[in-house]
A = this chain, B = another copy of it.
């Protein structure tokens, strides 16, 4: 647990997949579709994130779960496993009903009571995001649900962060990004935001980016730190 000089943020932006929601049930479905090869689940996630950015730099846009299904087909093909487009899309369906990590509702509730404005900022498309937040029971804690879909580009593109801050009416330095992914922390820092890294198992920071102001094992410790900050 580490805290650099931190200023009370006007708005806290939360990444959704893995940061708030537990991807494990989805990874298990993905492994099953890949002949039970558990080690391929990480490769699938990374391929999905890579191709979201391939789309972005190529001037294209597809919804995140469509890219996820394409990534699943690619990982399968590279390992001589055959998965139809239909099967890939079917496999990805649990992405919309992922459970919240155990500590998340309590921590969000405390932050809300402490007067913080909470907003999502996710690579999930609007409709998927709406379903994810409703199904996980987390929707009540957020004042706004923002998705990159409205920008047509994916995080960690700098313009996503500047768009989100402008949309909510805050300056970059008043914004705090909370994420369990090194690339999201890197993108937020490069955009002039503060950042809090949730160091969940299997996650890591990008060594070539700036450090976040906060590194904690879960949202519980994040809430402790933020609630203790002076107004």
Contact = CB atoms under 8 A, between A and B. Distances in A.
Q: Which of A42, A54, A70 has the most CB of B within 10 A?
A: A54
Interface string A41-84: 01100110111011111111010001100100110011000000
Interface in A195-221: 202-204, 206-209
Interface in A146-202: 153-154, 156-158, 182-183, 186-187, 190-191, 202
Contacts of A190: 58-60
Contacts of A50: 46, 49-50, 53, 183
Contact of A53 (B47, B53, B191): B53
Given A43-B46, A46-B47, A54 B187 contact: yes
A39 interface: yes
A158 B208 contact: no
Contacts of A157: 57-58
B158 A51 contact: no
8 residue pairs, one from A and one from B, having the closest CB atoms: A53-B53, A57-B157, A50-B50, A77-B204, A58-B190, A70-B207, A54-B183, A46-B46
15 contacts: A50-B53, A51-B206, A53-B54, A53-B57, A54-B156, A54-B186, A54-B187, A57-B153, A57-B154, A57-B156, A58-B187, A60-B208, A62-B208, A70-B206, A78-B204
Interface of A: 39-40, 42-43, 46-47, 49-51, 53-60, 62, 66-67, 70, 73-74, 77-78, 85, 153-154, 156-158, 182-183, 186-187, 190-191, 202-204, 206-209
